Amino acid sequence: MRIRSGFLALCATCVVVSGVALAAAGLLDRSYRPLAGKTPVNLKATYGGDVLLIVNTASKCGFTPQFEALEGLHAKYKGQGFAVLGFPSGDFKSQEFEDEKQIQEFCTLTYGVKFPMFQKVHVIGAEATPLYRDLEQETGAAPKWNFHKYVIGRDGRVVANFGSKTTPDAPEVVAAIENALKAPRPKAH
């Protein structure tokens, strides 16, 4: 009996550890439509091996001016295998337009956003999209407001996350991105 219960406890631990490893390995294995687009993009196929800054955005938020710094980071580091991926969400006081065309026009015309923006999603609660559920599971940190930032390393794992008040060009965010960019690109299998 003792061996059996020890075995079960060990297996339960293995399942938890394996679950985390599997979640991290499949973090980017998701498809989302580009903002106001029709054809889904698989994040892993498109951005696998890149360093990413994943951020939940909102057009009518006090943090919306962060779009400028996000675009600046994207422009500065994209040639090194980096991308900002924006996911509009109205989860916090409905501070996002309902219509994706409006979101797209606002981001492009007001802030010159050229980094990839994807379909409007839920980032918290029971309706959270699988990407954001996995981000929360891996970090223990769900967005508490708009413009929460997750830095994803070349291996597809979260290397850092920052709350809304930390600007995209803050030294700690830039350091996390630059350190992640130093890692070699994973070899294709």
Reduce the secondary structure of the chain to three states and give it as a string: CHHHHHHHHHHHHHHHHHHHHHHHHCCCCCEECECCCCCCEEHHHHHCCCEEEEEEECCCCCCCCHHHHHHHHHHHHHHHCEEEEEEECCCCCCCCCCCHHHHHHHHHHHHCCCCCEECCCCCCCCCCCHHHHHHHHHHCCCCCCCCCEEEECCCCCEEEEECCCCCCCCHHHHHHHHHHHHCCCCCCC
Residue of 11, 14, 61, 107 with catalytic role: 61
Structure tokens at 15: 């399942």
Q: Is 107 a catalytic residue?
A: no
**Could you tell me if residue 125 is left (phi over 0), alpha (psi between -120 and 50 degrees) or otherwise beta?**
left
- Rounded to whole angstroms, the Cα distance separating 157 from 166 reads 21
Known catalytic residues?
A: 61
